[in-house]
Amino acid sequence: MGEMGRQVFFVLSGYLISGVVWKQQVYPGAPGPWRQRLGTFYLRRLLRIIPPYYCALALSALLPLATIREYPAWFLLPAANQLFYQLQRWGEGLGHFWTLAVDEQFYLLWPVLLALVGQRWRWLLLIGAAGLIFRVGWGLLVTSGFVLVLLPASLDLFAAGTLLRLFEKADWLARWVRGRYVVAAWTIWWALWVLLHQHQGGVTWIMIFPTVGALAAFLTLGWLLHYPAAARRIGLLHPALLWLGQRSFGTYLYHLLLPVFWQRVVFKLWSAESGWREVLLGPIPTVLILTPLLLLLSAASWHFIEAPLNRLKRHLAYAPIKEPSTTTHP
């Protein structure tokens, strides 16, 4: 389920960021003061992501988590994905930060890449194919270990979101983004997992599943865009989910830190002979205890850090885009 969520997230990133790049013309070489608009784009991204992220890093250092103490610069950049690839292992309580690092690197790359390819869908398809080619080539020629944490391995996901933004108004898209096709796409994804995740140690699955997931996420997001009533029917607009969605960045930041914290508390307060360690570290007690704490941390991150920064972002407007002048000839 986690992999499904990550793929939808990366496709959604491609959709949203490409929309900003095209609408606000923040790519190099755009008409007008594109450098100013590009700087505004990066500053808005930094304000949204880096301060809450650094707060989570500070908490990680205070626990303390060994990986961040040993390799602080990699997390500050952020380049955690590169670190995990070099180590070929996850950092304690920090493994999820590779997705944030990939997303940040995507923000740096995408405006430049879109300046080169424009809105030519064949080139965008080629970029998407490059993600599959990279995984296959890297897995066969170098190593399949941790290849997914490298930015090129997710190009097909980001390209799928960009194509969705490009074609979201197309008539043909509405015919394909139907609920039954969404279900069929994810069913194929799961069927391939059953067939391939044990084949050759899962290497074949690692190579192909992001591309299959990119298609499934493309259809899912397209379905919700074209049929917004479907979101209400399946409960996505429930107030509790909207509340959680607004605070989902904090949930992401802290969800792996808390189990490490809880384990240390249990080992500190209860001896092995008491028998309580095994009980309290079981899945049900862990979920019951840590879920409220996670929600509290997420709410605090939103209230004290993210919401004020969002208000500050309103003062960072993009430079106005001049419409091309028209000359009337007699």
- Three-state SS string over 254-288 comes to HCCHHHHHHHHHHHHHCCHHHCHHHHHCCHHHHHH
CA-to-CA dists, residue 60 to 72, 97, 281, angstroms: 11, 12, 20
Q: Are the beta carbons of 136 and 142 closer than 8 angstroms? A: no
Low-confidence ranges of the chain (pLDDT < 70): 1-2, 323-330
Q: Read off the pLDDT of residues 150-164 as tens digits, 9 standing for 90 and up.
A: 999 999 999 999 999
Place of tokens 């009980």: 279
- Residue 131, number of CB atoms within 10 A of its CB: 22
pLDDT of residue 295: 97
pLDDT of residue 326: 44
pLDDT of residue 2: 67
CA-to-CA dists, residue 201 to 50, 53, 173, 192, 318, angstroms: 36, 34, 37, 14, 49
pLDDT of residue 323: 63
Place of tokens 């605090």: 300
pLDDT of residue 276: 93
Cα–Cα distance, 94 to 297 (Å, whole number) = 16
pLDDT of residue 328: 41
Give residue 33's identity as a one-letter amino acid code: P
pLDDT of residue 78: 87
Torsion of CA 71, 75, 77, 83, to 10 degrees: 60
State pTM to two decimals. Answer: 0.94
